[in-house]
């Protein structure tokens, strides 16, 4: 039996807690947690919609009932097709996080493998992610390669 399971609405608070672990690990990130209360109903709704383009896969903490040890979250997006992805279905991975006391147990890898299977089932022609320096080896071992695509952002 796999340790990995799909997250459910009851996991929402823990999912946000682990997302904050990820945010706190990034240099220069806004580490405020004020956003979590407002985000909670949205994430519960996304987790409840198992047919949509959003999925989170988690591992339960082995010694803390109700807590999560690790998570990965992904979305499916549509973009106009092109060579090697004529249907334009793209997976995007974000919020890969492991509780500090549970790192180096293989949980992130196990969650990633299940998420990648979910992307395949959804027909994704490619999967994108942004990797931290610490996570690059994991993603490379799963077949991810660096791309020359520039990223720009506009915030509203």
Question: Model confidence over 105-123: pLDDT tens digits?
Answer: 999 999 999 999 999 999 9
β-partners of residue 85 are 82
Does position 28 have pLDDT exceeding 80, yes or no? no
Q: Output the average pLDDT for the chain.
A: 91
pLDDT computed for residue 153 by the predictor: 67
Structural domains of the chain sorted by starting position, each given as residue range(s) with its CATH number in brackets:
4-141 (3.40.630.30)
The candidate with the shortest Cα–Cα distance to 129, out of 147, 117, 106, is 147
pLDDT digits (tens, 9 = 90+) for 53-67: 999 999 999 999 999
pLDDT computed for residue 5 by the predictor: 98
CB 106 within 8 A of CB 118: no
The candidate with the shortest Cα–Cα distance to 100, out of 33, 10, 17, is 17
Distances (CA, A) of 107 to 53, 76, 79, 114: 23, 22, 31, 11
Tokens of 84: 């090697």
Local confidence band at 154 (pLDDT 50, 70, 90 cut-offs): low
Q: Comparing 33-37, 69-73, 93-97, which segment has the lowest mean pLDDT?
A: 33-37
If you average pLDDT over residues 70-96, what whole number do you get?
Answer: 93
Going by their DSSP bridges, the two strands 68-78 and 126-129 should be labelled as: unpaired
Local confidence band at 96 (pLDDT 50, 70, 90 cut-offs): very high
């Amino acid at each position: 039996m796999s340790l990995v399971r799909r997250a459910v609405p009851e996991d929402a608070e823990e999912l946000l807690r682990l997302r904050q672990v990820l945010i706190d690990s990034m240099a220069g990130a806004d580490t405020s947690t004020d956003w979590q209360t407002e985000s909670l109903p949205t994430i519960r709704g996304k987790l409840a919609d198992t047919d949509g383009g959003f999925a989170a896969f988690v591992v339960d903490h082995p010694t803390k009932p109700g807590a999560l040890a690790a998570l990965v979250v992904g979305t499916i997006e549509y973009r106009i097709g092109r060579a090697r992805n004529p249907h334009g279905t793209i997976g995007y991975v974000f919020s890969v996080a492991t509780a500090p006391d549970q790192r180096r147990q293989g949980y992130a890898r196990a969650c990633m493998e299940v998420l990648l299977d979910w992307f395949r089932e959804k027909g994704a022609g490619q999967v994108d992610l942004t990797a931290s320096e610490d996570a690059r080896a994991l993603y490379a071992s799963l077949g991810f390669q660096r791309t020359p695509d520039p990223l720009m952002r506009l915030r509203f």
